[in-house]
Structure 1
């Protein structure tokens, strides 16, 4: 239990029924406004939705499957993690976009506007400006539609800061699941808008620096995020040469250690590679197109970068109560390869980070890769 009244709980019981039995021992549905649930792909989504609805009647649930979980006890796999937002001090509304592959700017914006109106009603006659607001989006990480959906939603929120994560299924890259309203969905996006009495700040953090090595996309399939050629050469071959390794050595670990970035408005943003395909092409986690100039990047110290950002948030908010965090799965792999995972875990425990590892991160109207985003909630202010 955090000072704000938010409760975090988790279970490694292994099945939906057993995990929910663990969780309900400490969650009184009458005390909470919303339950956020992040669960391993080994947990059947439909069964989890049913069990939660039966065990916690009247408590709204929103969540998704993951590529790894972040619990109060550290980095985990095959667990169910829950955050219960209390009725006192929090006003929460949610909605779901059921088919993100068909979403348009207009339809995505319309859903966000409806949800914003619902939040205004939930806040009632509270004086304007007395609460702190943020939005969360949990979207299918295999939909290839994150950019369109996130930009449309963010545009319609009229200043409410938006962060989130793309749902994963371990490292299978097959299909993910989303939970909302007692049901499990595929190819969906769950939206959550929150107003709270406590200070909050959304953030993003990365740990890479651009080099002088350039790769131009000369042939690709933008709809499927597949790059066939870089610099007019087979994509995987050219990327391997750019980072100085053999084609057979290309693995997710290598992608994590040698990201490629694009420059937008003076800032660099990662465009992470998901996998090498049998034909020598590369599948990406983010949108890609012909003519895009990719810059090979090199990593900065991950532990130092994360530690500095969490320390900054702690100072800015007058003490961190908890962080709802969305961290790229490639950063987890990179931490393991560099043997700093335990140090990252310690930082997460110390600063009360709870969340999951993603197939992509959202910040504002952008879909990002190899980034740590989230919302930091400060300790209650004493009058």
Structure 2
């Protein structure tokens, strides 16, 4: 492979490949030559927003004929060799021990919840006939998970992930919001050889290996509170906090002049909302010219936001990955979705190398997002994902109910 590229075949049979090639055609050729697998069940890709997505889709179809491909644009890639500021990340699932189906959900900015739920239930039903020997297997539910890729500029993740989680009826879901670095202009989804916008991709997986979903964050609430007194939930804009202009009130609380607010400020001082006794980030996307704040999540009037302060991001991430390693008896691979603001925060604190070392150790592959999904929640400034263990959930030779 070219410089800045790599490939790895994991114990579970999944291939991961990555490249920093300058063009979409070169990137696909780079990884395709490296993946030596005759029978693939699904390919998932994360790619730079400056790639020509149509060329990428065409080249993937040419190099991997007959293999379903799903993916999205990213704000940075995560590969077992470390982070990628640009390029292509590929996860190639083998047909052996992985049964996978996927679908596209269009027009998510005007989501029909009932129709979406019906499409998800239909997808779930298509998975069942793929392995008739597994029917009635009581362990099957624990070996299923769903990956969601959602347009991060459609402002619809809360509705989409809620509808998906409802229809999946207990199958855990994790995922990320497609981005375009920090330009906030155009996020792209890829499915079935076609380019989609204002859409979501859902990939439903059943495997013979032990798996566990997770989320990790590195913040804790302070005593500083803000009441949202004016907002536009549909546009995810907050005009007032505590009946004062939002940007000015936030800047005063963190000791900055509003003119000095930046993505680094928002990454270092996130806001959080309390749901069910637990805090979840509601990160700021940008400050607008009128002094309002745009968020990565919907924030409604009357909501109480709490200023959060960061904990040691390396220590908190290490603790969660160690827990997963112990729980699964060894982690083989992690498919991860990390908020781009976590990367900015790690860079500003000069600890990104520590995170990168952990991701190498645990074979993390994924992308940096405009938001993360975990079960029925849409989150910010979080690291979510699915850990795949080194051991089979049902050992070879064990009886399977039928």
Deviation at 1:130, TM superposition (A): 4.1
Which residues of structure 2 form unaligned runs of 5+? 1-8, 397-402
The answer to whether 1:310 aligns with 2:321 is: yes
1:28 Cα deviation after fit = 4.5
Residue 111 of structure 1 contacts residue 153 of structure 1 at CA under 8 Å; is this kept in 2? no
How big is the shift at 1:315? Answer: 0.5
- In the other structure, the counterpart of 1:14 is 22
Please, which of 113, 133, 138 is the counterpart of residue 129 of structure 1? 138
Greater alpha carbon shift after TM alignment, 115-124 vs 198-207: 115-124
Partner of 2:40: 32
Aligned partner (choices 49, 53, 57) of residue 57 of structure 2:
49
* CA deviation profile, 1:217-271 (whole Å, cap 9, x unmatched): 1111111000111111100000001111111221000100100000011000000
Give the match's secondary structure for 2:34: coil
Secondary structure of the 1:380 match is strand
Q: Identify which of 51, 72, 87 aligns with 1:79.
A: 87
CA drift of 1:129 comes to 2.8
| Higher deviation after alignment, 244-253 or 324-333 | 244-253
2:291 aligns to what SS in structure 1? coil
Tell me how far apart the structure 2 counterparts of residues 7 and 109 of structure 1 sit (CA, whole Å): 31
Matched position secondary structure for 2:159 = helix
Structure 1 158/311 Cα, relative in aligned 2: closer, same or farther at 3 Å? same
Q: Distance in 1 between matches of 2:16 and 2:216?
A: 23
The separation in 1 between residues aligned to 2:132 and 2:252, in whole angstroms, is 60
Structure 1, unaligned stretches of length 5 or more?
Answer: none
Which residue number corresponds to residue 99 of structure 1?
107
What is the distance in 2 between the residues matched to 1:234 and 1:120?
A: 53
Find out whether 1:151 has 2:162 as its counterpart. yes
Contact 2:37–2:94, Cα closer than 8 Å, also in 1: no
Q: Is the 8 A contact 1:104 1:148 kept in 2?
A: no
Deviations 1:276-331 (A, max 9, x none): 00111000000111111000000110000000000000000000000000000000
SS across alignment from 1:227: strand
Q: 1:158-173 residue pairs with structure 2 within 5 A? A: 158-173=169-184
Verify the 8 A CA contact 1:43 1:78 in the aligned structure 2. no
1:29–1:56 Cα change, 3 Å: farther
Give the equivalent residue in structure 2 for 1:277: 288
Q: 2-side partners of 1:316 and 1:103: how far apart?
A: 37
Q: Which among 215, 218, 236 is matched to residue 229 of structure 2?
A: 218
Please tell me whether the aligned partners of residues 200 and 376 of structure 1 are also in contact (alpha carbons under 8 angstroms): yes
Measure the CA separation in 2 of the matches of 1:121 and 1:278. Answer: 54
Which SS does the other structure have where 1:125 is aligned? helix
Partners of 1:129 and 1:42 lie apart in 2 by: 45
Considering only aligned residues, what root-mean-square deviation do their CA atoms show, in Å? 1.0
1:260 is aligned, of 271, 294, 297, to 271
CA drift of 1:78 comes to: 1.6
Q: 4+ runs of 1 displaced by more than 4 Å?
A: none
CA distance in 1, matches of 2:345, 2:89: 23
